[in-house]
Structure 1
Amino acid sequence: MMVAGIGSRKGVTASDVRAAIETALEAHGFAMTALSALATSEIKRDEEAIFLAGRDLALPVIVVADEALHVVSADIISRSEVSQAHAGTPSVSEASALAAAGKGAKLLGPRTVLGAVTCAIALGGGTE
Structure 2
Amino acid sequence: MKVAGLGFKSDVTVASLREALATAGGPEGLAAFATVSDKADAEALKELARECGIPIKAVPADRLAGIDTPTQSKRVAEKFGTGSVAEAAALAAAGPRARLIATRVVSRDRTATAAIAEGDGA
Distance 1:127 1:34 in 2: 14
More strand by share: 2
3-state SS in 1 of match to 2:76: helix
More helix by share: 1
Distance 1:18 1:118 in 2: 10
Which of the residues 28, 50, 57 maps onto 1:62?
57
Distance 1:33 1:110 in 2: 17
Show the counterpart of 2:101: 108
What is the 5 A alignment of 1:1-128? 1-25=1-25, 31-71=26-66, 73-74=67-68, 76-114=69-107, 115=109, 116-124=111-119, 126=120, 128=122
3-state SS in 2 of match to 1:108: strand
CA contact (8 A) 2:40 2:56 kept: no
- How many Å apart are 1:127 and its aligned residue? 5.5
Q: List 4+ stretches of structure 1 deviating above 4 A.
A: none
Distance 1:127 1:87 in 2: 22
Question: Gaps (5+ residues) in structure 1?
Answer: 26-30
3-state SS in 1 of match to 2:6: strand
